[in-house]
């Protein structure tokens, strides 16, 4: 009777694991010997070895005797051969995995097989550390992931271990030399260790662009800084503002408010870029000129009463404050006063005022805004207690005088003489010589008082009585000629001067009732009468003048002696 029985459970399990199948069970026929042969491997299979393996395959049969045994090698090493009935040795020297199948049959035809694999790996595993590379220089505090792999082409890797799992950051906190050691163990038990040495160093920035100062660089404006660009990027940047290259105390922000102290200087900023593991790098911007700012202001305004003697005030709105403002008051471009207020002077009457401001502040351009010209300054009304009067005799040929009290300084009087309230042409002096034209008329004087900056003041005197005609002062000068020979006749010459007031009229010379001659008075009040063939004896003549508009008639008797 022949039956195929399973071998020992351990061998069958190993074979099943290797082949990926479950052990098969043959149907057993009844008989006297039903036990299959026993097969044992020494060393046990299903493991890796570092060198050639001498396998001792022992065969036995508890129920009888073994009739035959053989082996078959597949995989890395392939061969087959019979074994002795008690087994034998099998040499496995080819690197790789070789599957060994030993089959034994006893005399009852019971058959048993044992299968196991044997791996031979003569090479050591390899370790590759890709980060950090051996000899690498690593920037302090940088993030560097430990990256390594282990490999074994034959048996494979049983373990691959380093100071930390691959992908974990290495220590870069302290400058200096550091080591990373990774050990690989293959399935055959061989190990390999690889060490990477790296140096932690302080990094250096690469400056791509220095800082820049931006903004409207004038007094009292905000200057800003554009940070420097570096590789790698800085994690923090500190600043120090400089005025003409000298640090400005307390000016350490990313912005800076300029002041009058910065005006007409050059402003720059020094930036210190920092990052963990890198040496600080200091860069400085280009210097920018800080110019004068300019105020914002309204047009000046003049308020107050624009009259001589009045007080006016100038005002203006200016930004920023405080702002120094000086004032000049001008008329026709000429400065008349200073200060925010001005008392209008008489000379300003009828003219227009302009208030000009001088705006000054440290760090700002000076400006001179001016108001619009004012309306004309009005003359003031002056309160003078003055009355005109006329002195003198209202008689033709007499002089009348305008009487006034003492006038204040700067007050001037203008005169106009009136006859029956009608202006006498050309009569504009303080006195008036009465002429024939004024005879019979009442005389007044109108006085106009003027002073610069004030309204004229007019005062008119009371009227005189009507002007009386003057009394003629008739003066007759005689001359005569001596008669020649026995002649009894002579020539008498009468020179008549009527008076200063006479300028017309007729002179009549009579003797007794007889009119001897007439003559017309010329403009100087003079007339000459020549009497011919007069008796050469003492004779009286009556000289009469008819009078004129300004002088009464006059008569005078003159006596011409004989000789």
Whole-angstrom Cα distance, residue 401 to residue 389?
8
Q: For 217, phi and psi rounded to 5 degrees?
A: -80, 85
Specify the pLDDT at position 552: 87
**Burial of 143 by CB count in 10 Å (0-12 exposed, 13-18 middle, 19+ buried)?**
exposed
Specify the pLDDT at position 1: 36
Give per-residue pLDDT as tens, 370-409: 999 999 999 998 888 889 999 999 999 899 999 999 998 8
**Burial of 8 by CB count in 10 Å (0-12 exposed, 13-18 middle, 19+ buried)?**
middle
Residue 216 in 3-state DSSP?
coil
Whole-angstrom Cα distance, residue 157 to residue 136?
27
What is the rounded average pLDDT for all residues in the chain? Answer: 89
Q: Are 501 and 520 in contact (CB under 8 A)?
A: no
What is the arithmetic mean of pLDDT over 428-434? 95
Name which residue leads in pLDDT, 480 or 218.
218
pTM of the complete model: 0.52
Give per-residue pLDDT as tens, 74-93: 999 999 999 999 999 999 99
| Least confident range of 27-36, 231-240, 516-525 | 27-36
The sheet carrying 389-391 orders its strands as 389-391, 399-403, 431-433
Specify the pLDDT at position 125: 96
Residues 6+ apart with CB under 8 A from 10: none
């Amino acid at each position: 009777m022949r039956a195929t029985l399973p071998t020992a459970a351990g061998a069958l399990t190993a074979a099943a694991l290797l082949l990926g199948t479950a052990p098969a069970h043959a149907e057993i026929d009844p008989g006297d010997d039903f036990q299959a042969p026993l097969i044992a491997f020494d060393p046990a299979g299903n493991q890796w070895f570092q060198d050639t393996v001498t396998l001792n395959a022992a065969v036995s049969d508890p129920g009888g005797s073994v009739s035959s045994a053989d082996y078959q090698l597949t995989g890395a090493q392939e061969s087959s051969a019979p074994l002795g009935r008690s087994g034998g040795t099998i040499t496995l020297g080819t690197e790789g995995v070789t599957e060994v199948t030993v089959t034994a049959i006893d005399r009852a035809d019971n058959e048993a097989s044992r299968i196991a694999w044997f791996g031979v790996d003569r090479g050591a595993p390899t370790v590759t550390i890709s980060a950090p590379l051996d000899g690498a220089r690593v920037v302090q505090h940088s993030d560097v992931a430990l990256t390594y792999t282990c490999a074994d082409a034959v048996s494979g890797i049983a373990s691959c271990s380093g100071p930390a799992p691959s992908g974990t950051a290495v220590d870069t906190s302290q400058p200096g030399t550091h080591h990373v050691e990774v050990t690989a163990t293959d399935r055959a038990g061989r190990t390999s260790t690889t060490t990477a040495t790296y140096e932690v160093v302080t990094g250096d920035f690469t400056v791509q662009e220095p800082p820049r100062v931006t903004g409207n660089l004038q007094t009292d404006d905000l200057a800003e800084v554009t940070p420097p660009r570096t590789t790698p990027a800085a994690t923090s940047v500190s600043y120090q503002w400089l005025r003409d290259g000298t640090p400005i105390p307390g000016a350490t922000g990313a912005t800076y408010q300029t002041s009058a102290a910065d005006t007409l200087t050059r402003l720059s900023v020094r930036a210190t870029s920092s990052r963990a593991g890198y040496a600080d790098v200091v860069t400085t911007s280009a210097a920018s000129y800080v110019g004068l700012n300019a105020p914002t202001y309204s047009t000046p305004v003049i308020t107050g009463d624009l009259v001589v003697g009045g007080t006016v005030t100038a005002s203006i709105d200016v930004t920023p404050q405080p702002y120094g403002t000086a004032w000049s008051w001008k008329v026709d471009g000429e400065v008349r006063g200073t200060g925010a207020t001005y008392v209008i002077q008489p000379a300003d009457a009828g003219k227009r005022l302009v208030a000009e401001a001088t705006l000054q502040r440290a760090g700002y351009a000076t400006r001179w805004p001016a108001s619009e010209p004012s309306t004309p300054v009005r003359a003031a009304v002056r309160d003078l207690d003055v009355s005109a009067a006329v002195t003198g005799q209202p008689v033709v040929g007499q002089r009348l005088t305008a009487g006034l009290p003492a006038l204040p300084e700067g007050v001037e009087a203008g005169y106009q003489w009136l006859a029956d309230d009608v202006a006498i042409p050309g009569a504009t002096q303080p006195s008036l010589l009465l002429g024939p034209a004024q005879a019979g008329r009442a005389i007044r004087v109108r006085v106009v008082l003027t002073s610069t900056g004030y309204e004229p003041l007019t005062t008119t005197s009371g009227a005189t009585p009507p002007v009386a005609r003057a009394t003629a002062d008739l003066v007759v000068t005689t001359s005569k000629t001596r008669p020649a020979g026995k002649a009894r006749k002579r020539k008498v010459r009468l020179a008549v001067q009527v008076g200063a007031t006479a300028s017309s009229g007729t002179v009549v010379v009579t003797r007794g009732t007889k009119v001897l001659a007439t003559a017309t008075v010329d403009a100087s009040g003079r007339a000459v009468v020549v009497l011919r063939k007069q008796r050469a004896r003492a004779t009286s003549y009556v000289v009469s003048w008819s009078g004129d508009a300004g002088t009464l008639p006059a008569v005078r008797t003159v006596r011409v002696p004989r000789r």
